[in-house]
């Protein structure tokens, strides 16, 4: 374990030049006539994004925006972890670790960090303030790459040590969606410093818990049908991630198409239009984080790690997370929340919010809803 060291994102021009050279010479695939997004990432949409990538996008403009936050690295056990850490001046601030997933990155939270830390400057009260920590998962972004696939349970152990051992927070709240919801669930289950959990996806599943009511059974069947149609990425990344990495390492456009397809399919868009929610800069900067750090491959390892890295004693059947849990249920997602009756079999739910709009990347899609729900959950928990 080491003390945090300030870190600044500084990508060499030669790295950007190599990426852009590949983008410039990309050879486009044939697409079925009239297929649109039905067969995968729409070619006409990608051509528009690539045109902007080549002639409008500026990595160094985006890098400057990212560097306005205080970034750090710290040695935790055997890995150097990257994280943003912004402290509030409020005497009643609550420590909050927000964890991203795949195919996102720490940039998902760029529009929510300051309002959570400085609520008095963003239509809130100083008593709602948090110290916010946003790490990059191991194998993602600017965090170190593990030697082999790692499970969310193992990541949770690193993040708990980061919060307690490195940063000195003994009573923190864990928030997450996607893999972040699984990591946060494990923090809630066995993290020594975690006091409560806030989730915008159900990433924790208690073993031996099955749907029972007609509504629970119906929702489980709907999920299975949806996952059968959209879950090919999961099966590939959880079985043969290295084979996928060969192609992606050589193709920035391929990487972008693989990632942006999920932003299209898992987000709550107006008339299916990506730019009704995201800017091209947001989409491309998220992709560039994978490219400039050469982490597309190692990021997919967590899917394999989910099955082969057990990292602890088996969880007893029907064990719940008993610490207080807040749920922010957004309507559009590949893995939607089941009915509350089912969720409560897994979690000690003390806070439940239903939103009319929003999807998988909640903090990017609906930042104000996300901010207000995390604040409300913090108020319900009270002082540490």
Residue given tokens 């989409």 in the structure block: 283
Question: Does the domain made of 5-20+43-381 have the CATH classification 3.40.50.1820?
Answer: yes
The answer to whether 179 touches 169, Cβ cutoff 8 Å, is no
* pLDDT recorded at residue 384: 60
Instruction: DSSP for 93-145, please give it.
Output: -EEEEEE--SS--GGGGTTTHHHHH-GGGTTS-GGG-EEEEEEPPTTSTTSPP
Return the half-sphere exposure (C-beta side, CA atoms, 13 A cut-off) of residue 6: 6
Q: What number is the average pLDDT over the span 120-128?
A: 94
Rounded to whole angstroms, the Cα distance separating 169 from 185 reads 18
* pLDDT recorded at residue 253: 98
- The residue ranges of every structural domain in the chain are 5-20+43-381
Rounded to whole angstroms, the Cα distance separating 314 from 3 reads 33
**Which token pair is 100?**
């991203």
163-203 residue pLDDT tens: 999 999 999 999 999 999 999 999 999 999 999 999 999 99
Question: 61 vs 50, 83, 281, CA distance in Å?
Answer: 18, 20, 10
* pLDDT recorded at residue 2: 79
* pLDDT recorded at residue 295: 98
Q: What number is the average pLDDT over the span 276-296?
A: 98
Give which of 223, 233, 292, 231 is closest to 257, Cα–Cα: 233
The answer to whether 149 touches 14, Cβ cutoff 8 Å, is no
In this prediction, what percent of the chain has a pLDDT beyond 90?
96
Q: What number is the average pLDDT over the span 326-331?
A: 98
Question: 166 vs 1, 78, 144, 365, CA distance in Å?
Answer: 7, 13, 17, 32
* pLDDT recorded at residue 150: 97
310 has a pLDDT exceeding 90? no
* pLDDT recorded at residue 1: 60
Q: How confident is the model at residue 21 (pLDDT cuts 50, 70, 90)?
A: very high
Q: What number is the average pLDDT over the span 295-311?
A: 96
Q: What average pLDDT does the chain have?
A: 96
Q: How confident is the model at residue 377 (pLDDT cuts 50, 70, 90)?
A: very high
Residue given tokens 């009270």 in the structure block: 382
Phi, psi of 136 (to 5 degrees): -90, 130
Q: How confident is the model at residue 46 (pLDDT cuts 50, 70, 90)?
A: very high
Instruction: DSSP for 257-324, please give it.
Output: HHHHHHHHHSS--BTTBGGGT--HHHHHHHHHHHHHTT-HHHHHHHHHHHHH---SSPPPTT--EEEE
* 37 contacts: CB under 8 Å, gap ≥ 6: 45, 261, 264, 265, 272
**Which token pair is 245?**
């990495």
- Three-state SS at 57: coil
127-154 residue pLDDT tens: 999 999 999 999 999 999 999 999 999 9
Phi, psi of 364 (to 5 degrees): -85, -40
Q: What share of the chain is helix, strand, coil (3-state, %, to 5)?
A: 45, 15, 40
Q: How many residues does the chain have?
A: 384
Q: What number is the average pLDDT over the span 237-261?
A: 97
* pLDDT recorded at residue 311: 85
Rounded to whole angstroms, the Cα distance separating 271 from 249 reads 33
Q: What number is the average pLDDT over the span 42-47?
A: 97
* pLDDT recorded at residue 22: 98
């Amino acid at each position: 374990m080491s003390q945090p060291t300030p870190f600044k994102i500084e990508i060499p021009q030669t790295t950007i030049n190599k990426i852009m050279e590949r983008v410039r010479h990309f050879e486009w695939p044939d697409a079925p006539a009239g297929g649109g997004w039905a067969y995968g990432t729409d070619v006409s949409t990608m051509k528009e994004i690539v045109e902007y990538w080549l002639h409008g996008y500026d990595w160094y403009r985006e890098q400057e925006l990212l560097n306005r936050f205080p970034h750090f690295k710290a040695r935790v056990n055997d890995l150097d972890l990257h994280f943003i850490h912004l402290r509030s001046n409020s005497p009643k601030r609550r420590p909050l670790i927000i964890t991203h997933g795949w195919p996102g990155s720490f940039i998902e939270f760029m529009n929510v960090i300051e309002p959570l830390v400085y609520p008095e400057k963003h239509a809130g009260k100083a008593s709602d303030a948090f110290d916010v920590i946003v790490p990059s998962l191991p194998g993602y972004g600017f965090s170190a790459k593990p030697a082999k696939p790692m499970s969310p349970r193992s990541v949770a152990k690193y993040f708990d040590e980061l919060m307690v051992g490195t940063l000195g927070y003994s009573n923190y709240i864990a928030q997450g969606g996607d893999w972040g919801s699984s990591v946060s669930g494990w923090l809630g289950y066995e993290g020594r410093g975690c006091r409560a959990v806030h989730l915008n996806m159900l990433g924790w599943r208690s073993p031996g818990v099955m749907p029972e009511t007609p509504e629970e059974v119906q929702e489980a069947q709907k999920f299975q049908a949806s996952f059968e149609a959209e879950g090919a990425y999961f099966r590939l990344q959880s079985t043969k991630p290295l084979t996928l990495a060969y192609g992606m390492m050589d193709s920035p456009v391929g990487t972008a198409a693989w990632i942006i397809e999920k932003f299209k399919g898992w987000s709550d868009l107006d008339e299916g239009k990506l730019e009704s929610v995201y800017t091209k800069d947001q989409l491309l900067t998220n992709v560039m984080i994978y490219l400039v750090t050469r982490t597309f491959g190692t990021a997919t390892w967590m899917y394999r790690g989910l099955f082969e890295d057990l990292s602890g004693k088996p969880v007893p059947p029907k064990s719940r997370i008993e610490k207080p849990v807040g749920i922010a249920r957004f309507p559009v997602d590949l893995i939607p929340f089941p009915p509350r009756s089912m969720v409560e079999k897994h979690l000690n739910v003390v806070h439940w919010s239903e939103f009319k709009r929003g999807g998988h990347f909640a903090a990017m899609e609906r930042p104000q809803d996300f901010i207000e729900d995390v604040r409300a959950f913090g108020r319900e928990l009270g002082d540490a």
